[in-house]
Structure 1
């Protein structure tokens, strides 16, 4: 998997706190997915049996247990131990997986997605977005240039930097919308009429007495 050329930025303390709460309270991703068969649909396929690689092109849709992958091109490789690896290219590529024992899903997009079945990780590169849903309700959303999500530990890291700059985010900084984890027995928070919009902060001004 290629190393990122984008300098790593420190994740805001709120993101670290919310990630820790997420890891502590939520169950792990579907563990049975890695042992499920892979099913694919595409406009074309090139399979190399000697190298155990398959390259699907054109409106690719792949399912593997609860995993759903979509992209313009997907390369799938299998090692001698049966572990499967995938490289997804798209505008953007798409990845979705259910979490074990709860009605929660993780969903992400990026111009490139690297799925590592052996280490159970997903890497989103290029205008990357990672979302967590409770049922159909969006609970958390994070954007950056590179996002790496570990299904085994339920930990994710986010890189910002120049490659993440857009007209809406000229600084290229990491952005996150994080919903607090409610206490056991507490009523769920009311859903706002419209989601809040993250805006860049061009500078912090010192407050003088």
Structure 2
């Protein structure tokens, strides 16, 4: 479909858990809205391919890139692969539940898995946690996988596959202190607030599908 501008709202049919304590996070139940220069849709495969200045919003999620392929499984969960223009980076941003914090990141390719609520940044990958407008945690590597459900991330430096953006193929991270005067949580809110710092994990490096 060769339109100068294409806009699609894809409704997500989310399977809700019976107990409120294990309900899905809000963004997963929101419709996905996509704007682009062109759209090619395959009804049989339930696949949409957006190209040209792609902008995606889904609740608090914002994704930007040059091309995005969106798939929807039989249960209504959506997944997408975003690629950047040559020499540039695709962008992802999402608010963390219950706190005034955002996770944002960049990569040559970004894979989003709505079912698992995970996002993977591939190639010159960077990820930041912002408290308001202040960067609290920051990390970079070859591949970064972020698990929004468990507030965990894993970083692969790439080993010998060094690049100008990641010389030596090493992981680099700056993590804010868990407890300090600047980050202390009021006693009344401490019981309900999630952990202040993201937790590195070695258990979430599986492929996003």
| TM-score for both structures, normalised by structure 2 | 0.72
Q: Which has the larger radius of gyration?
A: 1
Looking at structure 1, the residues matched to 42 and 162 of structure 2 have their Cα atoms a distance apart, in angstroms, of 35
Pair 1:187–1:152, CA change in 2 (3 A): closer
> Could you tell me which residue of structure 2 aligns to residue 44 of structure 1?
38
Looking at structure 1, the residues matched to 29 and 137 of structure 2 have their Cα atoms a distance apart, in angstroms, of 28
> Could you tell me which residue of structure 1 aligns to residue 66 of structure 2?
72
Are 1:157 and 2:150 counterparts? no
Which structure has more relative contact order (CA 8 Å, sep 6+)? It is 1
> Could you tell me which residue of structure 1 aligns to residue 92 of structure 2?
95
Structure 2 alignment gaps of length 5 or more: 1-23, 185-209
Q: Deviations over 1:104-144 (max 9, x none)?
A: 00001000111001111101100000100000001111000
How many matched pairs? Answer: 157
How far is the alpha carbon of 1:50 from its aligned partner? 1.0
Q: Which 4+ runs in 1 deviate beyond 4 A?
A: none
Q: Deviations over 1:26-63 (max 9, x none)?
A: xxxx9100010011110000011111110000000000
Looking at structure 2, the residues matched to 96 and 164 of structure 1 have their Cα atoms a distance apart, in angstroms, of 26
How far is the alpha carbon of 1:188 from its aligned partner? 4.8
Q: What RMSD over aligned residues (CA atoms) do the two structures have, in Å?
A: 1.6
How far is the alpha carbon of 1:152 from its aligned partner? 0.9
Q: Is the CA contact 1:42–1:56 (under 8 Å) kept in the aligned structure 2?
A: yes
Pair 1:151–1:188, CA change in 2 (3 A): closer
Are 1:127 and 2:121 counterparts? no
Q: Deviations over 1:44-95 (max 9, x none)?
A: 0001111111000000000000000000000000000000000000121110
